[in-house]
Chains A and B, each alone.
Chain A
Amino acid sequence: MGRDEAALQVSALSKRFGDVVALKDADLHLATGSFHALLGENGAGKSTLARCVIGLVQPDAGRIEIDARERRIGSPKEAHDWGVGMVHQHFSLVPNMTVAENLVTSKFTGSWIIDWRREVRDLDDFCSRMPFTVDLSAPVSSLAAGEKQKVEILKQLFLGHHILILDEPTSVLTLEEADELFGMLRQRTQRGELSVLLITHKLREVFKFAEVVSVLRRGQVVARGSVQEFTSDDLAHHMVGESGLPTVVARENKTAGRTGIQVRDLVVRSDKGIDAVKGADLTVRSGEIVGVAGVSGNGQRELLEVLAGQRQATTGSVEVHGARYHATRHEMLEHGVFFLPEEPLRTASVASMTLAENLAFRGFDQPPLCRRRWVLSRDRMKSRARDLVARYRIKAANVDVPIEQLSGGNVQRTVLARELSAGVQVLVASNPCFGLDVGAVAEIHSQIMAARNRGAAVLMVSEDLDELMALSDRIIVMFEGRFVHEVAAADADLQVIGRHMTGGHHATTS
């Protein structure tokens, strides 16, 4: 197969949503067997372009050619028929089905009978050739974000698509997992079996794996070419345009103060009834950020759920500012405990309630939002919401829209505004930037750093090592429910951390 032959050719594609121009005469040439990166800020039109190709959105104008044939793609089923598959930013798995069931039923066979024994054998065989493993019998709802993302990628490869669109797939993967995954995809592209379009804003991935890069800004392709032609500054400049990159608030030098969070000998059981956290001890002092690194599914989620009050610990204790902590509303208020969870629409918002109401979740039972303990002031709730919307640049038609109508980045900003605007003393964050673009990430990092500089004790779990390295004062690695490695961020070595994350410490310590 010729290298210049287009697996996917997009010409003059345009799409408007109401008054918003999402795509304007966008062109893209994905050569067969190439690894093509599509860069751009949130709202630049990357996802819209991908959704047009996959048949989720119909373009207003322009043509799409797959393997040199013009195609009208009415649905993902048709895209599948032409061999195009996509890993979405948000998960598209059935939560109460197992991984194996999700994979098998994703095949559009339309047959009446599923031969489960054969399917499972095929799956096992298929998984043994993959660079990472997932428990096939686990229900998807019990998986952490990172594991779900792996299943999404497995699904696409399992379906045998030869054109693969990946929409920011590594937000929740570790460095090593991402490298392994891309390494494997890259091998396949070099053999000409696969053409990959990677939507991302991580320049590291672009330079390490992509051969060709296109940059989208405000719906138009503003730069394209071979990766070697660009420096990272070039690309960043093309992405954000004239406005320039936002800068992250600097770390102030300060010695850590009193104990914020103290976790002693904590044992926590997972949904499956096995111990996910097996005796964790942890101290976070005020004025420091402690980052917890680890491959998802090693107990981080359960640990945080205990701190957030969403799960009971089996044994052990949690103290905040020296007092026993049970995650009651009163304690949260007294000690200024706040959360930045992952998937904020699912874990920290009520989708059907309005933006103003969601912004009031922390203060609705306190003055000034509540008078004489019994009367809620809607007016004050709304005016306070308008104030927060302006301060945190939340984009919404008004404060009375249900929060589910906001984009992912704006939901994240809403939760950020709610959790960080009221005297944070203890902050617990979990993958706070999952799926957000460069600008939004810088903003959230700034807010977290500012909270630390003001003296908050911050515990942050993240599967993005770059994020941990950039923000943490100390990094702790969690593996199979235990803290196996601790290092000051200044002395941290990515290779060493990566080894501990995958259990490599057994080899080095024993």
Chain B
Amino acid sequence: MRAASAVLRIVPLSVGGGLFVTTVALSLSALIFGAFVASLGVDPFGVFATIYKAAFGSWFSWQNTLSRAAPLILAALCVALPARLGLVIIGGEGAILLGGLAAAVAGIHLAGLPAIVGTPALLVAGATVGGLWIGFCGVMRSYRGVNETISSLLLVYLAVTIFDHLVDGPLRDLSNVNFPSTHPIDENFKIGNIPGADMHWGLVVGCLACLAAALYMRVTPQGFAMRIAGGNPRAALALGLPVGRMVIVVCLVGGAAAGLAGALEVAAVQGRASGALHVGYGFMGILVAFLARHNPLAVIAAAILTGGIAASSGLLQRVYDLPDATAIVLQGIVFLSILTCETLYGRAGALFRWMMPGPTSRERA
């Protein structure tokens, strides 16, 4: 199965080496994207300045960027955590949809309970359903050897179908004529904004989750065992580590993060489950995780960068009359550049090592 996802591997590197690869990849993306907008007859430097201004230029744009980054952080953890065990999960979108739906259902049915019970309950419902959804990929991988990349991707289509069916059918709020959606959750359960900012608490939850994941990997023996199993499953088995169980657990946790992202979208932004959940957070999470080289702390920075690019989309359209897909094109270029540079680092290692400072080019002397 490794052969199929060999291209999607991140080479384990030191922090410095990782930053180097990422920097090269981002520079390469800037170059290609610059050429792309230039070919549309637009000044690339102006475009970059506009992206910066729209994403990070003011407190207002920062708030916009951070709001967009919040769901991406959790969605990225659904990719980054399993990747630590060498798994390539790309189906976080499914967990987000069903997690959001579960949260909405909980929020409707628990109506009347105090918020202190109701809000956590709907978040837990979302995380549980998301966790079980991706955890199922882990179970299939562990017990039947089913490739988790393919199974998680195919499960997205199943999740979309289930979601659409329920939202458009049994769970539909018929008073909402124009747009299929569930009934709204109890107003009481809604999560408010961080005081003094136009951003909800999801951002904080995501950052805490990343911090917890980083600490877990770094400090605990269980995290250490995950690094062994991710680095060399054969060695892990010979050490008696329960690799199969670890695969399932990490999928459960990753899926729970994505499910939580969906639940937070419902509880803090939408107030109900609808097609507005299905906007590709799960897929953008893949980009964020790879950009962060699956490092949970770097996920925060990568999500902010990606959120910033998304936030600049509107201004690019207005100022330069660029198509609205421009931001998506940029994200796609970044993703391909990352994969290319990772692959080149493994294969054409000599070229990169030669470019890198340090004593590694001794052989050439």
Contacts and interface: CB of A to CB of B under 8 A. Distances in A.
Interface of A: 17-18, 57, 96, 308-310, 327-333, 339, 341, 346-353, 357, 360-362, 364-365, 369-370, 373-376
A62 B101 CA distance: 74
B232 A308 contact: no
A361 B221 contact: no
Given A309-B240, A352-B231, 18 more contacts: A96-B3, A308-B238, A310-B237, A329-B239, A331-B240, A333-B240, A350-B227, A350-B232, A352-B12, A353-B227, A353-B231, A361-B228, A361-B239, A364-B221, A365-B222, A365-B224, A375-B219, A376-B221
Contact of A328 (B219, B220, B234, B240): B240
B225 A376 contact: no
Given A364-B221, A375-B219, A376-B221, A350 B228 contact: yes
Contact of B235 (A17, A329, A361, A376): A361
Interface string B334-365: 00000000000000000000000000001100
B242 A328 contact: yes
Shortest beta-carbon contacts, A-B, top 5: A350-B231, A329-B240, A352-B12, A365-B221, A332-B240
Contacts of B223: 376
Contacts of A332: 239-240
A96 to B, nearest CB: 6
A375 B238 contact: no
Interface of B: 3, 12-13, 219-225, 227-228, 231-232, 234-235, 237-242, 362-363
Nearest to B233: A310
Given A310-B238, A350-B235, A364-B225, A374 B220 contact: yes
Contacts, number: 78
Contacts of A327: 237, 240
Instruction: Tell which of B13, B220, B232 has the most Cβ of chain A within 10 Å.
Output: B232
A365 B333 CA distance: 43
* Interface SS majority for chain B: helix
Nearest to A18: B362
Contacts of B241: 329
Secondary structure at the A interface, as helix, strand, loop or mixed, is: loop
A400 to B, nearest CB: 10
A339 B238 contact: yes
Nearest to A311: B237
Contacts of A352: 12-13, 231
Contacts of B362: 17-18
Nearest to B221: A365
B210 to A, nearest CB: 19
Nearest to A96: B3
Interface centre among A328, A351, A353, A375 (most CB of B within 10 A): A353
Contacts of A360: 224
A394 to B, nearest CB: 18
A223 to B, nearest CB: 30
Contacts of B228: 350, 353, 361
Nearest to B235: A348
A373 B223 CA distance: 12
A329 B222 CA distance: 13
Contact of A349 (B12, B219, B235, B240): B235
Contacts of B239: 329, 332, 361-362
